Each structure stands twice: as C-alpha cells, then as structure tokens.
Structure 1
Amino acid sequence: MRIVDLATRPDLAEAALDLGDVGGQFIYAGASGKMITLDRFRQQWGRYFLIALEDDVPIARTLSVPLAYPAPDRTELPDHGWDEAVQWAAQDKIDGRPPNALCALEVVIDPRHRGKHLSSEMLKALKARAAETGLSKLIVSVRPIGKEDEPNTPMAEYAFRRRPDGLLADRWLRTHERLGAELIKICPFAVTISGSFADWKQWGNVDLVDGDNLFAGGIAPIIASAERDYGVYVEPNVWIEHPM
C-alpha cells in the first residue's frame, strides 16, 4: 500500500470519492458540507486529500483542512465541531490567515479492506502531512461509529464508556486512543442539517413524521414538524487531539 494526495494524483479523485461516505450522503447536505466540494479541494487543499492505493486502485481516503487553532479569537475547540472547523478553514483561506493545525474531516475505507487497520494508517499519514507542512496539531471532530446503534443515548454517556481492559468502548474512538489521542470535549452541535420533508426523502430516503425520527446512518434523531415542513438534524461529535 502507498499513500498519495490529490495534488499529485488528481486523476484519482472520482475513484476515491466512490469509496462511499461517512454515515451517508446527507452529511454533506448542510451549509458546511456544501463548502467542501471536490473542486475546492483541488484548488485549495489538494495536499490534505490523501488516498491509499493498492495496485494503483484507491482503497481508502481521508480529507482534512488546515486552520488556525489555537488563536487569540479561538482559544477553545468549538461546540459546533465539524461545521465550525470547515467554516474556520474557509475564513482563514479568505483572510489569508496562516494555519497552525490540521483538522481531519473524514476517513473512509473501502468495505472490502476494512479490518486491516487502514484507518490507523490514514490517521498516521495525516499526522505526517501536518508535520511536513509546518502544522503543529491534528484535531478531529469524531463521529463515533457505534453511536448509530444508540441514537437516543446522550453523547456524554456514550463516548466515555470503557471496556473491562480500560480502553474506550467505541471502536472508532478506541482507534484514536490507541494512537495516543486525547478526548478533549463533546461538541454537541457538530453537524446541523435542516430541510423540508422532501429534502430528507432525497438526502436519506427518510419519510419524516412529527417528532423524533430515527433513520439509517444517523447517530441522533431528526426532529420534524409536518405543519412547518421541516426536519432538523443536530449531530453531536467528540473533539479529539492527536499528539504530534
């Protein structure tokens, strides 16, 4: 296996994106999700779109964005998690503000290659790329994988569970912990997506009803109102920082 980036291998973009999505395509329907398009990565952040290859075929990808944190006006990781990290990166690009940290946005593994510790290798590659480009920190707004099975459990209760051996119970959080990462805080509003009933049918094949709606790929319910014709999804994540 070898790892390349979008800047050097732009021809691999579509094949890398075809590996799938984190949770589901609906994640990219929010305002922040719409900002991280392939064209923007090609133009702005190509070095931070990493692709793992086997026989020159993509088997994993990870997307990340450089941003300024900590900074005088950013002394804490934001409660709005993934959404605000994307906004910070865009603001810094517009303002010409030099970054000092790298924020991972997703790690996606080809289903046929799961269980081979590829996610750990991709996180290590992100840390290496951060160091190579003069960044001193790797942060991640982590979406715990097992939370899909417990969408109604508060994240603060779920995220800090530990196994009898002392390691975190959630396997994705545990992957980060095994690499030396530290859980910093819950970000309760990490991803917020709102839309009409028709929007949610398109985004996630969800037939909304009044009240809380559980759905495939969600780690929290969609809160919906038929009278107002909207559904709002607020996803909590966990901020994690990797040592450099």
Structure 2
Amino acid sequence: MRVVDLAGRPDLLEPALNLGDVGGRFIYQGASGRMITGERFLRHWARYFLIALDDDGVPIARALSVPLAFPAENRAELPDHGWDQAIEWAAQDVLDGRAPNALCALEVVIAPHLRGSGLSAPMLKALKARAAETELRKLIVSVRPIGKEQEPAVPMPEYAARRREDGLPADRWLRTHERLGARVVKVCPFAVTLAGSLADWREWTGVKLREGENFIPGGIAPVYATTAYDTATYVEPNVWMEHPM
C-alpha cells in the first residue's frame, strides 16, 4: 500500500470519494457535511486528504482531516458538538488566518471489498505522520463507533464504556484507536445534528418516517419526527479521542 495526498494527486479526488461513506450518506446533508466538499479540500486542506493506493495505483482507502487551532483562545476543551464543531473551527481558522496546531480526523473510508482487512490502522498512522510532518502537536478524532449502528437505542456513554476481558473497548473502531495509543477524552453528545422535512429524510435514506422515534440504516441514534410540523431531527453522539504524537 502506498499513501499519497490530494495536493500531489488531485486527479484522484473523484475515485477516492467514490469509495463510499461512513455510515449513512445522510450525515453529509447537514451544514457541516456540506462544508467539506472535495473542491474545498483541494483549495484549503489538500495535504490532509490522504489516499491509499494498491499495487496498480487504484485508490483503496481515504482519510480526511482538517487542521485547526486547539487548544486556543475560547477553545479550552473539546466541544460537545464534536464533528460539527471541529469542521466549523477549521473553517473559522481559514477565514481568520489563524495558524493550526492540531489535526482533526473526520473520516477513514476503506474500499468495500477490503473492509475488515486491517487497513484502518495504517490510515490512522498516516494521519498521525502527516500531523507530525506539518508540525501539528496532536491528532484528535470525533470517533463514530462502528458497532453502534446495531444498537442505536443504547446511550453512548453506556456503549463506549463496554470493555472486553482483555481490557480493550468492545467496539472495534474504538479498539483500533486505543491500540494505536489514543485515549478517550469524553463523549460528545451532539457530534452531528441534522434536521429536515419528512420528504428530505425519505430522499436521504429511502425511509418513510413515522411519528416519534425512528431507526434508520446507517444511523447510530434515533431520528425524531413530528408529522404535524413536517420535520425530523437526528442528533448523533460520538466519542472524542486524542492520539499522542
């Protein structure tokens, strides 16, 4: 496996994006998800869009991250709004010209036919290496536990606290991070917040929502719908983890 970045290989943008998504595609329909377009990565964060290639030069994995200032003035703690807030911070820093001192991983996506083959850990290592190369002091991640899709009704603090007999996290994505030396900082209860009409949600997920609590493919928390107001809201918790450099 060879890892390149979008700065050196802008021609790989579309093939890398075509590898799929983390969880449901609906995640990218919120304000934060719409902010991290391929074009913006090309313009602002191309060095932090990593692409793994197989022996034939075909993309088999991607890792997206954004540099940001943390800790910094008015940013003493990792935010409860997790993924959403990290993207907002990175955008603010670009607009304000503030120099970053940390890297925040947004997603690691593996080609469907290679998922479960152990490529995630090398991609995280590549992100850590890129952070070090660009003189950033830490790698932070708003981790979306992969097994939580099977138990969307379980509160995140309870789910994230589960451990195996060997002491490692029961969830394999949390476990991958911890094996690389990351520590859990806290649960971020509002990592991704997304609202839309019932028609929007049917377009995003293919599901016709009913009144009240709904569980959708790719979701790790319920979607709450109200037919009287034609709205549905999804609030996804994640787990903040920090990797040592």
Q: Which runs of 5+ in 1 are unaligned?
A: none
CA offset digits 1:53-99 (Å, max 9, x no partner)? 00100000010000000012100000000000000000000000000
Aligned counterpart, 1:181: 182
- Distance of 1:116 and 1:2 partners within structure 2: 16
1:69-88 maps to which residues of 2 (within 5 A)? 69-88=70-89
| Regions of 4+ moved over 4 Å | none
CA offset digits 1:191-215 (Å, max 9, x no partner)? 0000000000111112111100001
Q: Which amino acid aligns with 1:21?
A: D
- Distance of 1:237 and 1:4 partners within structure 2: 28
1:101-180 maps to which residues of 2 (within 5 A)? 101-180=102-181
1:1-244 maps to which residues of 2 (within 5 A)? 1-54=1-54, 55-244=56-245
Question: How many percent of aligned residue pairs carry the same amino acid?
Answer: 71
- Distance of 1:72 and 1:32 partners within structure 2: 22
- Distance of 1:44 and 1:120 partners within structure 2: 25
Q: Which amino acid aligns with 2:239?
A: V
- Distance of 1:59 and 1:211 partners within structure 2: 39
CA shift, 1:24, in A, is 1.7
CA shift, 1:115, in A, is 2.6
| Other structure's SS at 1:62 match | strand
CA offset digits 1:164-204 (Å, max 9, x no partner)? 11110000000000000000000000000000000001111
Q: Please tell me the root mean square deviation across aligned C-alpha atoms, in Å.
A: 0.6
- Distance of 1:140 and 1:31 partners within structure 2: 19
Return the TM-score normalized by structure 1. Answer: 0.99
- Distance of 1:162 and 1:181 partners within structure 2: 15
Return the TM-score normalized by structure 2. Answer: 0.99
| Other structure's SS at 1:152 match | coil
CA shift, 1:114, in A, is 2.1
Q: How many residues align?
A: 244
| Other structure's SS at 1:185 match | strand
CA shift, 1:117, in A, is 1.5
- Distance of 1:122 and 1:6 partners within structure 2: 14
| Other structure's SS at 1:94 match | helix
- Distance of 1:144 and 1:6 partners within structure 2: 27
Q: Which amino acid aligns with 1:107?
A: V
| Other structure's SS at 2:233 match | strand
| Other structure's SS at 1:32 match | helix
